[in-house]
A and B are shown apart, each in its own frame.
Chain A
Amino acid sequence: MNITPYIFLCVGSIFTLLYAFITIFGWSKTRKNRRLFQNNGYISELNLYNIESGTVSNQTYKTFSLQANHFFSAEGDLIDVSKFNTYIAEGESSTYPSIKSGDLILLNKNTLEITYAFTLPNLSNYR
């Protein structure tokens, strides 16, 4: 009995199954990674704590710390403060640069601390 055709058939079948297995699970993992990476850029919740307020030169201010519920996709991600303006006061902040409602703030992706804040007209400088 000639077994050569069966050897070719077995090798072909085994590697076809391997190919199919790796493709299905690899593609699934790729899509999961893409979703994970791309969704992390969106901040759905931002917690402010250690809020303190006061008045300096007739201007009210608040200092605060930030904690977000996601990591950021890249350092320099921008958050629209107006979406979280409940706790943002107008005026000078003793801890951070002047942040007004509607300003954009730049966060450090690891510490989640504000590294820079600017208003929309200055956005072109960043770009």
Chain B
Amino acid sequence: MCISNSAKQSNLFISDYIIALNHSFLWIAALSFAGFFHVSPWFSHKQALLFSTLVAYSAYLCESGLSTWRVATSQINYFINFRKAALWKYICLNVAINLGLAILFLKFPTWWLILAVIFTAGWQKYMDGRIPPRLQSTMILIEGNKFISKIL
């Protein structure tokens, strides 16, 4: 088989199976940690609530990475500008706000703070869904036409 086709098949295998498997591992780990915080005697009820929410939030963050990875594997014949996806700064802002709210909740455990933490997780999940279309908008086809566009 041609080297190029071998590389393409390898990436498709990663896209179809490995990322799906890794996704399942991610959620097994996240739910196990959430369970740990609830059954452990070392955490109060409110701490367990906050930390299990943060575990779910961290899993959403990792899912953003998996979304990016899936686009990189499945769109092998495109140049993709990952920096110009323009979402990373919003994700960093989201993490900072989430951590700020979490620290505030530890000091002042009120229901609206934990609700705000949950909303930042929702915001993160929304950005996770926006990653593939944003990456697709930066794609440049290279196969076949690459050499033409290079010399013309």
The chain A residues found within 8 Å of chain B, CB to CB, are 2, 4-5, 8-9, 11-16, 18-19, 22-23, 26-27, 29-34, 36-38, 40-42, 71-74, 76-80, 109-110, 123, 127
Contacts and interface: CB of A to CB of B under 8 A. Distances in A.
B11 to A, nearest CB: 5
A19 B143 contact: no
B10 A33 contact: yes
Interface size class of B (residues with CB under 8 A): 35 or more
A33 B18 contact: no
Contact of A33 (B26, B41, B76): B76
A110 B2 contact: yes
16 contacts: A4-B39, A9-B33, A12-B32, A18-B29, A19-B62, A22-B22, A26-B19, A26-B69, A30-B11, A30-B69, A31-B72, A32-B7, A34-B11, A41-B147, A74-B144, A78-B147
Contact of B148 (A37, A40, A74, A127): A127
Contacts of B73: 30, 33
B29 A16 contact: yes
A34 B29 contact: no
Contacts of A33: 7-8, 10-11, 14, 73, 76
Given A26-B69, A71-B2, A36 B7 contact: yes
Contacts of A32: 7
A60 to B, nearest CB: 26
Nearest to A35: B7
A79 B29 CA distance: 50
Nearest to A11: B32
A124 B74 CA distance: 29
Contacts of A80: 147, 151
